[in-house]
Structure 1
């Protein structure tokens, strides 16, 4: 189990752009591993540092090959082909929406050791990468759709903000 608590909407820090990581050390590696545990414990497929109250450019994504850690990621290519599909978010539980995203992306990032990496993602991986990088920019999936549905207390807040009846 992990001690990292999730940050929930409408916490203002979720709307703040994250700061670039400049120090790569054991503390960063430990944080990445703890984020991976928090993601799995909450049944997520991705988690960005702002979602655990850390204003840094780091995200973790669960893949078939294990935990993918992206530090200071930047999308430098998006495919022209796009797809609309349902998304949710660990920071806005019980709220879902149809979001249009590119089917493929190429990103440049660093790993937890500071080594530069280039990664291509297609399908679900491309969608998750775009969703998590949005978090690092202070953008939530609810900002990218008008087609929302949900239940619970946070749904009531989203409806009020988005003026949904």
Structure 2
């Protein structure tokens, strides 16, 4: 399967909560292949299904050589005081802002065989897990910015070449 085009800010699918995966069929298997191909591009830590235009709860991740995916993921544990970390998003190119994220995250979901999968980590992996589950809940990292930063980000988006 080929890498899929990333949907950009303004596309309604990015603000729509994703539907749970009820059955693992060929469509879901193809989605996972597309997500893994799409996250394999250098510089990508995660890709949510909504970012490639599919309104299902699934994402892929690629952090420090750890590559995988989760179906129907949910954050089951956050640990530590949230701290600001620079964050960007493939759906909001060229912008980076500090977002408060917990330094440790544990997510649970399932694989294509219906088995429970746990992914946990600190640093960039914790950030990616939180970021991708936000996508599946219809949130962008911009939604977590302080009011003044969000206003600045929206101005920069309107002035960007890609918007």
TM-score category by the smaller chain? 0.7 to 0.9
User: Counterpart of 1:9?
Assistant: 9
Distance of 2:91 and 2:42 partners within structure 1? 10
**Corresponding residue for 1:96?**
96
- Which residue of 155, 158, 161 corresponds with 1:156? 158
Give the unaligned 5+ runs of structure 2. none
Looking at structure 2, the residues matched to 123 and 42 of structure 1 have their Cα atoms a distance apart, in angstroms, of 18
Q: Distance in 1 between matches of 2:30 and 2:12?
A: 25
Deviation, 1:37, is 1.6
CA RMSD of aligned residues (A): 2.4
The 3 A distance-change label for structure 1 pair 7 and 154 is: farther
Give the paired residue count.
157
> Is 2:140 aligned against 1:140?
yes
Deviations 1:111-158 (A, max 9, x none): 12221122322111000000000000000000111336679x972279
Q: Secondary structure at the match of 1:88?
A: strand
CA distance, structure 2, for counterparts of residue 150 and residue 15 of structure 1: 17
Deviates more, 1:19-28 or 1:94-103: 19-28
1:157, 1:76 → 2: CA distance? Answer: 38
TM normalised by structure 2 equals 0.85
Residue by residue, what CA displacement relative to the aligned partner does 1:11-52 show, whole Å, maximum 9, x if unpaired? 111101000001113432232122222223373110000000
Aligned residue for 2:106, secondary structure, equals strand
Q: Tell me whether 1:122 sits opposite 2:107 in the alignment.
A: no
The residue number in structure 2 matching 1:74 is 74
Matches of 1:136 and 1:112 in 2, distance apart? 18
